[in-house]
Amino acid sequence: MNVGIIGAGAVGKALAIGFLAKGNHVIVGTRDTAKLLPWVGQNPKAILGSFADAAKFGEVVVLAVKGTAATEALRAAAPTDLAGKPIIDATNPITDAPPVNGVLKYFTNLDESLMERLQRQFPKAHFVKAFNSVGSASMVNPQFAGGPPTMFICGNDEGAKKTVAGLVEGFGWQVADMGKAEAARAIEPLCMLWCIPGFLRNDWSHAFRMLS
């Protein structure tokens, strides 16, 4: 499969390595390919491009940019290059304000998530929330004593969710489908919860698991 990754931070790179290891072809999109040359030196199968190149190339597209830049990054793509495709949305709506007692500040509220905004702004794309509430180091083949963790996903298009669920399971996760786009109002704040032990105790190695 061709995977286009919009964003070249810790998340874009971690998922690129994961998709490449599974035999996919990957373009990593950035505004500045020069700064990624050392990384490509270590991951020579990855191809660098612009955000638009990544969107055009991907049968599945990953959105992994700073939350405040998500709309702008997607606007760099041609609308036809997003239409009908699963867009794995790993972003979180984190403001530039510092955390308060370890609690991040969001620019959204509990009645509107970032993914819902993006879905409204790019109605033909099929957004699926995933990978937003775990650290980049554990996104692919997570290893925890408690067993495989749970990836909470949501999105309006059932076909796109099925595709993304298969990819997430292939990375070693249990998938919990939380329904339509509105569920991102609950999934995005899981990142706030996930980060608290990190900011308070420098503990960043954990993940959520749904028990029943």
- Report, in Å, the least distance between residue 207 CB and ligand NAP: 11
Q: Between residues 19 and 23, which has the closer beta carbon with respect to ligand NAP?
A: 19
Residues 6+ apart with CB under 8 A from 124: 79, 82, 83, 84
Residue with the two structure tokens 């390595």: 17
Q: Of the two residues 127 and 131, which places its CB atom closer to ligand NAP in the complex?
A: 131
In whole angstroms, give the CA distance from residue 157 to residue 88: 12
Q: Which spans in 34-157 are helix H?
A: 37-42, 51-57, 70-75, 114-121
Q: Are 197 and 203 in contact (CB under 8 A)?
A: yes
CB of 43 to ligand NAP, least distance (A): 15
Question: At closest approach, how far in Å is the CB of 38 from ligand NAP?
Answer: 14
Q: How far is the CB of 94 from ligand NAP (least distance, A)?
A: 5
Cβ proximity to ligand NAP: between 32 and 111 the closer is 32
Residues in touch with ligand NAP (CB under 6 A): 7-12, 30-32, 64-67, 69, 72-73, 90-92, 94, 131-132, 135-136
CB of 22 to ligand NAP, least distance (A): 20
Q: Give the list of residues 6+ apart from residue 86 with CB closer than 8 angstroms, or none.
A: 60, 61, 126, 128, 157, 159, 160, 161, 163, 164
For ligand NAP, the closer CB: 34 or 159: 34
Closest to ligand NAP by CB, 92 or 108? 92
Task: Please state the length of the chain.
Answer: 212
